[in-house]
Structure 1
Amino acid sequence: MSDPLVIAVDSSTSATKAVVVDKSGQVLSTGKADIDLLTPGMDMYEHDPVQWWESTETAISQACAALSDADRQRIKALCITHQRESFALVDEDGGALRPAILWLDSRAGDEIKEYGSDHIHELSGKPADTTPALYKIAWLKKHEPEVLTSAHKLVDVHAYLAHHLVGRWVSAVGSADTLNLLDIANVDYSDELLDIAGVTREQMAELAQSASIIDTIKKELTDSWGIPGDVVLVAGVGDGQAAGLGTSAIDEDVAYVNIG
């Protein structure tokens, strides 16, 4: 059989999973590696971003190792889905300047009260809540300003993994929008929201349309996975959007329930 295969990566709160699928959605192999949850204080939840990549590389290696040589030759693309709203601050080499702050972290109650409004909801598409990253970035602006201003990039999980995979700081629109920093009507970063967060446009990852091809994955990686040909990175979406797609909840009058 010569139909192409895809590596689907889900980097979530507790683990990263890799699944190799064919064009019909049939699963040929899987891999999984855990991620440690850090709790430095009340209502604070963090990750070491290094584990985002280490767990991804391990999960992909496991999934590829479970395939035959012939099936590894069929792998043509890799796509990322991930825990939404979580973000990391990195230097020019990609090193983390502090632990990543996660979507479930609720330290920014004061910032939600200060900046949350109907206007921000309409601009970004996100109601004032503990989940969107905007308010936690604003918390850093108040409590850790030196780290925020010195960061080369502020990135979601997609952009962090893409940098390891293809050497570029790039996220999918369907991933980066969960940071609550995009003007959703114009599908671009909002200067107003960036100002609230205390970051600049230059500190943000470039944006790629979901389902577009970003670049070719580094050959040293595909070689280590036993894949002989080129593999492209396809821009993905956050895990919630992916779940909606997977359940065909894509029409305005269709909803799905996610309990976990």
Structure 2
Amino acid sequence: MTTVPAVLGIDLGTSSVKVALTDQVGAVVAQAVCDYPVDRRNPGWAETDPEAWWQAIRTATAQVLATAPAASVAGIAGIGLSGQMHGVVLSDAEHRPVRPAVLWADARAEPQLDLLRALDLSVRARLANPLSPGMAGPVLAWLHVHEPEVLDAARHALQPKDWIRAWLTGVAAGEPSDASATLLFDVLAADWDDEVVTALGIDRRLLPDLLPSALTEAGRLTTAAAEALGLQAGLPVAAGAGDTAAAALGSGLFEPGTVQLTIGTGVQIVTVVPAPTAESVAGLHDPVTHLYRSATAHGWYAMAAGLTGGQSLDWVRRILGAEWSELYGVADRGSRPDDPVFLPHLVGERTPYLDTNMRGAWTGLDARHDRVALLHSALEGVAFAVADCLDALPGIPSGNRDLRLAGGGTTAPAWRQLLADVLEARLHAVDVPGASARGAALIGARAAGLLDDARLTEVATPHTTLIAEPGPAAEALRDRRFRYRDTLARLRA
């Protein structure tokens, strides 16, 4: 049989996994999605059984292999990975989970942030990132205090996609794009910060060795994993990247000053920045935006991250019994001065407030308000939260700006227009469906030797299309956002 070179990209999201089979330049041949639950059994908690991830990967991979051309299936040359960031998977020496994974949206470790606040400012500056309870450092500190018996049974503390890779290859390792997002990483030394690890009371042996970059080959597919997935044993498996870094790579975000917005479960606004120096991080004691390693060998990006994207809208549509199409369809209804104000912070917020205790609300409700008014105000409130994130990102102009859009949460035309009006920005759609999965596949292609760095940059750069720009509604929405911010300030006070 004639074979066609192909790569399998696995993108492990918060509530679903996407598996994509692509050719060697990232064009999708076949793809499938499989969902799994997020357990919120206690207030502020967010967990998932890693076994549910693995079963979902098996299901989605089987669907891809069943629908892809035989020549592409036979030509699979490698596997690339992308995954939700910040959380913790504790596993034993055989990589079996010893408890459910704690996810990025989990807020239980808020008290442990005081351990980081007590550090010398020069040490905190080396972390160069906001203090957030859902990151691996505070979570591990919490687990050491509250579940010491679980820690005794654990051998590895891994990021979600790193655990998947360990399950595929039998080798536990980390890599910089995820490690830099743990609040345990020295951005100048590009390694774990042992002083911080000690201050948080974390057993250093749990932290894996770090591979050089996301593009590195991390190991080979074991016989057991190959049989479970229906693949050939011995395929190279890339280190992989955090989902935001993978999406940036998959959508060709390489040029400094380019800004990209993705609305998924949360909100990410990303721009490429220079590598940090001792001078550039010296004043970063209390930053509200993030500084992380990219999926490339030496790159960095800054990110404003919000918790109030798709998960807030999903809650609204479920409470009001609306399908996604109906929710997005009301975006062109237009804002009215007496509409209710929706505060979308159902699980706290990161950029710019860094407040896990923030909670959502509909305010200004009136007997005249109907279901459509509530749905529209929810879209409006999430758009305002996105604007708060964008305004906090360093170096971004306050108006007359251009943003690239990526991700499935920004495909509805009326929703795009509402975002353009609220953000006062021209929006350019990135012609890359599933940027994280594509990024994972390109990472796999690079690790398998199908692409070199120059060719990777060339094929990753996508076509963009201007799809929305501020219209007549922008002025009224500016007034609505003022009311939103005033309401938020009053409730927080």
TM-score by structure 1 length? 0.90
Check the 8 A contact 1:52/1:157 in 2, yes or no.
no
Q: Which runs of 4+ in 1 moved over 3 A?
A: 116-121, 219-230
Pick closer, same or farther for the CA change 1:30–1:85 going to 2, 3 Å.
same
User: Which amino acid is 2:177 matched to?
Assistant: G
Offset of 1:237 from its aligned partner? Answer: 0.8
- For 1:138 and 1:191, how far apart are their aligned partners in 2? 14
Aligned residue in 1 for 2:93: 92
Q: 1:213 corresponds to which letter in structure 2?
A: E
**The 10-residue stretch of structure 1 (33-42 or 149-158) with the greater mean CA deviation from structure 2:** 149-158
Cα distance 1:200–1:130, how it changes in 2: closer, same or farther (>3 A)?
Answer: closer
Q: Give the Å deviation of 1:143.
A: 2.0
2:65 corresponds to 1:61: no
Larger radius of gyration between Structure 1 and Structure 2: 2
CA distance in 1, matches of 2:254, 2:125: 21
Q: 2:144 aligns with which of 141, 146, 165?
A: 141
Amino acid at match of 1:247: S
CA distance in 2, matches of 1:166, 1:231: 9
Match status 1:251 vs 2:252: no
Please state if 1:157 is matched with 2:171: no
Q: Once the 2 structures are TM-superposed, how far is the Cα of residue 44 of structure 1 from its aligned partner?
A: 0.6
SS at match of 1:129: coil
Larger relative contact order (Cα-Cα within 8 Å, sequence gap ≥ 6): 1
Decide whether aligned partners of structure 1 residues 228 and 195 sit closer, same or farther in structure 2, where only a CA change above 3 A counts.
closer
1:160-199 alignment, distance < 5 Å: 160-199=163-202
Q: Percent identity?
A: 25
Q: CA deviation at 1:71?
A: 1.5
Partner Cα separation in structure 2 for residue 67 and residue 223 of structure 1? 18
Please give the alpha-carbon distance, in whole angstroms, between the structure 2 residues aligned to 1:67 and 1:203: 39
Superposed displacement of residue 150, structure 1? 3.7
For the aligned residues, what is the CA RMSD? 2.1
Shift of 1:196: 3.0
Give yes or no for the alignment of 1:7 onto 2:25: no
Q: Could you list the runs of 5+ residues in structure 2 that have no partner in the other structure?
A: 265-493
Displacement of 1:13: 0.6
Q: Residue 212 of structure 1 aligns to which amino acid in structure 2?
A: T
Work out the CA distance in 2 between the residues paired with 1:227 and 1:98. Answer: 28
**SS of residue in 1 equivalent to 2:261:** coil
TM-score normalised by L of structure 2: 0.49
Correspondence 1:38 to 2:39: yes
- Whether the 8 Å contact between 2:222 and 2:233 is mirrored in structure 1 is no
Determine the structure 1 residue equivalent to 2:235. 231
Q: Which stretch shows the higher mean deviation, 45-54 or 142-151?
A: 142-151
The answer to whether the Cα contact below 8 Å between 1:171 and 1:207 also exists between their aligned partners in 2 is: yes
Residue of structure 1 equivalent to 2:79: 78
Query: 1: distance between equivalents of 2:76 and 2:66?
Result: 13
Q: Is the 8 A contact 2:58 2:228 kept in 1?
A: no
Which deviations, in whole Å up to 9, do the C-alpha atoms of 1:207-259 show, x marking residues without a partner? 22210111221234435545457421011110111122233333332221222
- The residue that corresponds to 1:241 in the other structure is 245
Per mean C-alpha deviation after superposition, the further-off stretch among 10-19 and 124-133 is 124-133
Distance (whole Å) between structure 2 residues aligned to residue 121 and residue 55 of structure 1: 38
- Contact 1:120 1:126 (8 Å CA) reproduced: no
Mean CA deviation greater in 123-132 or 204-213: 123-132
- Take 2:102 and 2:227, find their aligned partners in 1: how far apart are those partners? 33
